[in-house]
A and B are shown apart, each in its own frame.
Chain A
Amino acid sequence: MQLVSTIVLDGLIDASWIFIVAVGLTLIFGVLNVLNIAHGNFYAIGAYVAASAAGWYYAGGDSFPALGLIIMLGSTLVVAVVLGPLLERGLLRFFYERDEVVLVLVTYALFLVLEDATKLIWGVNPYYAYEPYVLFGNVSFFGLSYVGYDLMLIVVAVLVGVLLWLALNRTTSGKLVLAVIHDRDMSSALGINVTRIFVVAFTIGVFLAAAGGAVTAPKISVQPGLAVTVVLLSFAVVVIGGLGSIGGAAVASLIVGIARSLAIHTAPWAELFIVYMVMALMLAIRPQGLFGTEGLRKI
């Protein structure tokens, strides 16, 4: 019983940050049909900006430490609002007429550019934002000590999921986004401003990646090389959940988180491979992913 609850709790903590990042990737894919390889770079930039903001805030004394966390998240919003429209309008839109795979290549080139650009801006020395990590103290579960911040992440992830669901299903603009995901050409024909939806969806996707970086920043060392691991993991999640499916990303994050936790607690030699194994299993049984749509053939 103790082992089971530990596995579930560890899995949930893991799933929470994976979800925040992966749901951004799947949203961008769903709306723009772009498999964004540079997604991990937005995560890294988010982490860098948040850590820089935290460094600036806490250097002036930490009379009100929780404010630092809010400043960190706020700074990533700025990043998204600047980078999102800039990259979507300034770069991606020139390639919408081209093959979708060309767009993957464009984001690959973007990955290369941003990889060096972040290094040129922030250098190679690590940045930290550890102060918020102790904000919520420690909690004990079955004799194991957990950091309260990690448990808060679960709440944040659920909040992100619920907000996204509400925004998409309960607001007019959200429904327009769903319409575009469902059929871009038809939506355009019906007079939906697809361009605007592209910009907004891409910006939200960038924000989610950057926010994922920001909430992770307090527990890691922010330095070069963050992007690759993250983009591969969220890619696996999106494939398992079904490309472009937001519910799929949520379920797949849970599956990946729990599977990883299960592997670490019961068969640690398989940790590296477990995500790939889940993905392989999914590809063998249901190549379009859990919530992916069929009918992929072109007419």
Chain B
Amino acid sequence: MLDWRSTAHLCMALVALLAAGLVLPGWANFLLVIALSKGLAALGLVVLLRSGLLSFGQGLFYCAGGYGAGLLMLWGGISDAALLVGGGGLFALLIGVATGPLVAGYRKIFFATLTLALSMLVHGALTKADFLGGTDGLNLRAPTFFGWRAGSAGENVYALYAFASILAVALAGLCRAHFGSVRGLLSLGVRDNEIRIEYLGTSVRRVVFENFVIAAFLAGIGGAINALALSHIDPELAFWTTSGEFVFVAILAGQASVVAVFAASVLLEVVRSWSSQYFPNAWQLTLGVFMLAVILFLPNGVGALLRRRSRPSVEADAK
């Protein structure tokens, strides 16, 4: 578990994030909310990546979280952000539990392809579902925060940002603790040599399944926050381009640090927004070139950059 020092660091990080949000303009807060929610989905991928697997269908759970939270609001009449996001995360987790056994036996590109196919199925089903708004999706209302409702646009965005920050820091801390735990360390063993792990008496399938479900839950939380921030849900959340972005953030972050995941997510959002502003006619090209450059020149991700300057992190701790 986390020692008091790590907890103190986490609290400090949270305070810094919350303070930063007060200074930043509304659009930047919004950008950070989206980056944090996408970062959570990518954090899920990092959990999977530690066992050597990369899902190209993480959008499925992002979407499940979004629709879970959205429908809880529209059909269930719930407006509390914490309940909605929790419900969204739980819904994604359940889908993860249901689909996990199907994919847990697959590795490498086959795993990526199967997860991609699953998310495409859900995307197709949603576009056909008229009662869920079909391709147009559904609009949501502004959420409340523990009974408090924001009075202005700025307040609402900041409240969402603060809420997302708390969740991101807490979940990042939990992930960090998990990575250092026995079960978390087993993942690295699975990646290196499955047979050895099996001989040691652990079910590799189970480890993969657990990681898959954790990843689903994290993506679900992220998707739910995204839905609340957007006040809108549509099938795009499960489209393969969404999943592709998560994969990119996970690769860009590398596996060296939990913090890097969120840093990478912010970086992607900033680059996208920047290219869309300055190259409205070629923003996809700019984004693509940026991705290629990052994959080529930062093979170990941003995390490795951070790690070089400070003490070795996750993996080194693990060894």
Indicate yes or no for A touching B, C-beta below 8 A. Answer: yes
Q: Which listed residue (B109, B114, B284) contacts A287, Cβ 8 A?
A: B114
List the A side residues contacting B292 at CB < 8 Å: 91, 106, 109-110, 113
A108-B268 Cα distance, complex, nearest whole Å: 15
Of the residues B108, B112, B118, B284, contact of A298 by C-beta under 8 Å = B108
A273 interface residue (CB < 8 Å to B): yes
Contact among B54, B117, B194, B244 with A299 in the assembled complex (CB-CB below 8 Å): B194
- Complex-state Cα separation, A37 to B125, whole angstroms: 22
- Verify A232–B120 contact, CB threshold 8 A: yes
B247 at the binding interface (Cβ < 8 Å): yes
Q: Is B121 an interface residue (CB 8 A)?
A: yes
Q: Distance (Å) between the CB of B286 and the closest chain A CB?
A: 8
Query: Within the complex, which residue of B52, B54, B107, B195 is in contact with A296, where a contact is CB–CB below 8 Å?
Result: B107
Is A280 a contact of B288 with CB atoms below 8 Å?
A: no
Which chain A residues border B52 with CB–CB below 8 Å? Answer: 298
Query: Any chain B CB within 8 A of the CB of A100?
Result: yes
Q: Is the CB of A112 within 8 A of B109?
A: no
Q: Is the C-beta of B105 less than 8 angstroms from some C-beta in chain A?
A: yes
**Nearest-Cβ distance from residue A279 to partner chain B, whole angstroms:** 6
- With A110-B288, A115-B284 given, is the CB distance from A287 to B125 under 8 Å? no
Does B312 sit within 8 A of A, measured CB to CB?
A: no
B124 within 8 A of A: yes
Q: How many A residues touch the partner, as a band?
A: 35 or more
A100 to B108 CA separation, bound complex (whole angstroms): 7
A57 adjacent to chain B (CB < 8 Å): no
Q: Does B285 contact A (CB under 8 A)?
A: yes
The residues in B between 78 and 102 inclusive whose CB is less than 8 angstroms from any CB of A are 102
Extra 4 A-B pairs, beta carbons < 8 Å, given A109-B248, A115-B288, A296-B107: A94-B296, A105-B295, A117-B285, A297-B194
Binding site for A on B (CB under 8 A): 52, 54, 56, 102-103, 105-110, 112-114, 116-118, 120-121, 124-125, 127-128, 194-195, 240, 244, 247-248, 251, 281-285, 287-289, 291-292, 295-296, 299
The 10 closest A-B pairs by CB, nearest first: A112-B288, A116-B285, A113-B288, A101-B54, A109-B291, A276-B124, A100-B109, A112-B284, A109-B288, A116-B284
